[in-house]
Amino acid sequence: MKKRSRKRSKPRTRIVLTLAILVILGISAVGAAILFNQFSGDGNKPPNDTNPNYPVKILNKQIPPGYVMGFPVEAGWISGMNAIFIENAGQKVSIRFTAKSGGTVTNVAIDALLYKGQPTVKVGLQEDSNGSPEGQWMKENAFGIVQLGSKSGFKTVQLGTAVTLTKGKVYHVVIEAAEDPLNGTAAIASYQANGFAQPLNPDDPDIVWNDPQMNILYYCGDAWKEQNKWPIFVISYSDGTLEGQPYTLIAQWVVWGATYVGQTLIPASDYNVEKIAFDVSLGSSGAPQDRLYYQVRDSSSNILAEGVFAERSQLNTVRTWVEATLPTPVTLKAGKLYRISVLSPQTDFANAYYLFGHEFSYNASIGYGGLQYQLTSSYDGGRSWNDNADADAVFKITTPG
Ligand SMILES: [Ca+2]
């Protein structure tokens, strides 16, 4: 099984979203409706804990206060469909979000494709009314029209009129039929992970930007209902500022031989690091020859800490969090570059471990930590490193006490 991507020989395979789209395309409209109903119930509750000590809200739980840095959005956490269907002019989808920046908006982008036929949809902005879209476009004209194609990916829509969003206020990107009857069925993609946050936090790039209001809502003719799915969307302001949730792809990266994988960090604050955690699994063979180890390196690739990350027997082929405690805490200084990684030198490619991360198909500057944080890999045992601006590893860092 080949686990390198086509273009850049990166050790990753593309999994969850691709599979979900195949599922979408492989089922009938009736089947789609059944699946949709099956997964639109109360299986996952929205975050409801308001304890201010918790910097990050994720579905059904929160990061304990000790986790001071990280992108802990677990890959593939949500089960079920990651698309929501619009089959007729009575059905609508909303991406509810809190404006992180505010300003004049000229266009919005969503991830959508056709499921059947050649549907054309309206995409635009509405104000919030008690958690649901107000029911009219801002300034009557803050929408654009797009005919969907067969490929998933971002569709950018120019708004008919620019509108002003106020920082901290809740808004909705609403998607609905642009024709009646709708010429087909539209599929609006959500992201198959457990975050309800905007990855980039301009106030503290070391953690994600918490948005308790973020959710996807669905309207099927009577009432708006929360779907508890993490949206994919980008808002573009006229001054060039972007905000939103730009990840569309969960990827697993192989770790074996001289191939080390992890995350590059340029912390915004000083940290005394006691523990590091990644989301990892055994590969499909389930039989790596060596244990999984970790290293913390500085910008010159000097090793600041290293040790055993996981025994083979601790892991299976389902990804899981593993946390390693450093022998002695290591200080990371604000503004300096560090790399945390995992490795398994005696393991061969066929038996590689996996490390999980998220990838973009939109501007990488609004991903976790902006470009100060990037998924990184070395193919020569840590002598040189390749940082990937378009990806971030799933990880957590904890300080003592
Ligand atoms: Ca990043």
Q: How far is the CA of 310 from the centre of ligand 1 (A)?
A: 25
Report which of residues 9 and 174 the model is more confident about.
174
pLDDT band at 85 (very low <50, low <70, confident <90, very high): very high
Q: How far is the CA of 287 from the centre of ligand 1 (A)?
A: 32
9 belongs to a structural domain: no
Q: How far is the CA of 307 from the centre of ligand 1 (A)?
A: 26
Which residues form the domain of 209?
14-67+79-245
Same-domain pairing of 228 and 309: no
Q: How far is the CA of 394 from the centre of ligand 1 (A)?
A: 11
**Alpha-carbon distances, residue 297 vs 10, 370, 373, 387 (angstroms):** 21, 20, 14, 14
4 belongs to a structural domain: no
pLDDT in the model for residue 197? 92
Contacts of 300 (CB under 8 A, 6+ apart): none
Q: How far is the CA of 296 from the centre of ligand 1 (A)?
A: 18
Q: How far is the CA of 270 from the centre of ligand 1 (A)?
A: 19
pLDDT band at 82 (very low <50, low <70, confident <90, very high): confident
Q: How far is the CA of 392 from the centre of ligand 1 (A)?
A: 5
Of all residues in the chain, what percent carry a pLDDT higher than 90?
69
Nearest in space to 392 (alpha carbons), one of 239, 253, 270 = 253
- Please provide the DSSP assignment of 271-299 as one string: EEEEEEEEEEEE-TT---SS-EEEEEEET
Q: How far is the CA of 309 from the centre of ligand 1 (A)?
A: 23
Q: How far is the CA of 79 from the centre of ligand 1 (A)?
A: 25
Report whether pLDDT(50) > 50. no
365 belongs to a structural domain: yes
Q: How far is the CA of 261 from the centre of ligand 1 (A)?
A: 15
Q: How far is the CA of 356 from the centre of ligand 1 (A)?
A: 14
pLDDT in the model for residue 177? 98
pLDDT band at 80 (very low <50, low <70, confident <90, very high): low
353 belongs to a structural domain: yes
- Residue 67 in contact with residue 101, Cβ under 8 Å? no
pLDDT in the model for residue 75? 75
Same-domain pairing of 179 and 294: no
pLDDT tens for each residue of 352-400: 999 999 998 788 899 999 998 999 999 999 999 999 999 999 999 988 8
Same-domain pairing of 191 and 144: yes
73 belongs to a structural domain: no
Q: How far is the CA of 158 from the centre of ligand 1 (A)?
A: 26
pLDDT in the model for residue 79? 60
Q: Work out the average pLDDT over 64-79.
A: 73
Same-domain pairing of 366 and 261: yes
Report which of residues 29 and 242 the model is more confident about.
242
Same-domain pairing of 47 and 144: yes
Same-domain pairing of 31 and 116: yes
pLDDT band at 141 (very low <50, low <70, confident <90, very high): very high
283 belongs to a structural domain: yes
Q: Work out the average pLDDT over 89-105.
A: 97
Q: How far is the CA of 316 from the centre of ligand 1 (A)?
A: 28
Q: How far is the CA of 355 from the centre of ligand 1 (A)?
A: 16
pLDDT in the model for residue 11? 45
Strand partners, 116: 185
Same-domain pairing of 156 and 19: yes
Q: How far is the CA of 29 from the centre of ligand 1 (A)?
A: 37
**34 DSSP assignment:** H
The SS3 of residue 57 is: strand
Question: How long a stretch of residues is the chain?
Answer: 401
Report whether pLDDT(330) > 90. yes
- 245, 262, 277 — which closes off a domain? 245
Same-domain pairing of 173 and 214: yes
Same-domain pairing of 330 and 308: yes
pLDDT in the model for residue 193? 87
Report whether pLDDT(319) > 70. yes
Report the predicted TM-score, pTM, of the whole model to 2 decimal places: 0.85
pLDDT in the model for residue 73? 87
pLDDT band at 64 (very low <50, low <70, confident <90, very high): low
- CB environment 328-348: b (16+ within 10 A), e (fewer): ebbebeeeebbbbbbbbeebe
End-to-end Cα, the chain, rounded Å: 44
74 belongs to a structural domain: no
Q: How far is the CA of 365 from the centre of ligand 1 (A)?
A: 7
Q: How many domains does the chain have?
A: 2
Nearest in space to 126 (alpha carbons), one of 104, 142, 111 = 142
pLDDT in the model for residue 361? 76
- 210, 226, 245 — which closes off a domain? 245
3 belongs to a structural domain: no
Q: How far is the CA of 364 from the centre of ligand 1 (A)?
A: 7
- Residue 339 in contact with residue 263, Cβ under 8 Å? yes
Report whether pLDDT(55) > 80. no
Q: How far is the CA of 337 from the centre of ligand 1 (A)?
A: 13
Q: How far is the CA of 273 from the centre of ligand 1 (A)?
A: 20
Report whether pLDDT(111) > 60. yes
Same-domain pairing of 293 and 202: no
Q: How far is the CA of 70 from the centre of ligand 1 (A)?
A: 11
Q: How far is the CA of 274 from the centre of ligand 1 (A)?
A: 22
Q: Where are the alpha helices (DSSP H) in 298-351?
A: none
Token pair of 74, please?
A: 């677990």
pLDDT in the model for residue 66? 62
Same-domain pairing of 62 and 193: yes
Same-domain pairing of 33 and 129: yes
pLDDT band at 81 (very low <50, low <70, confident <90, very high): confident
Q: How far is the CA of 36 from the centre of ligand 1 (A)?
A: 32
pLDDT in the model for residue 8? 34
Of all residues in the chain, what percent carry a pLDDT higher than 70?
82
The dihedrals phi and psi of 100, each to the nearest 5 degrees, come to -80, -35
CATH code of the domain containing 356? 2.60.120
- 245, 267, 294 — which closes off a domain? 245
pLDDT tens for each residue of 257-286: 999 999 999 998 888 899 999 999 999 888
How far apart are the C-alpha atoms of 246 and 367, rounded to whole Å? Answer: 6
- Among 63-67, 80-84, 144-148, 319-323, name the one with the lowest average pLDDT: 63-67
Q: How far is the CA of 390 from the centre of ligand 1 (A)?
A: 7
Q: How far is the CA of 372 from the centre of ligand 1 (A)?
A: 6
Q: How far is the CA of 122 from the centre of ligand 1 (A)?
A: 31
Mean of per-residue pLDDT scores for the chain: 84
Q: How far is the CA of 63 from the centre of ligand 1 (A)?
A: 19
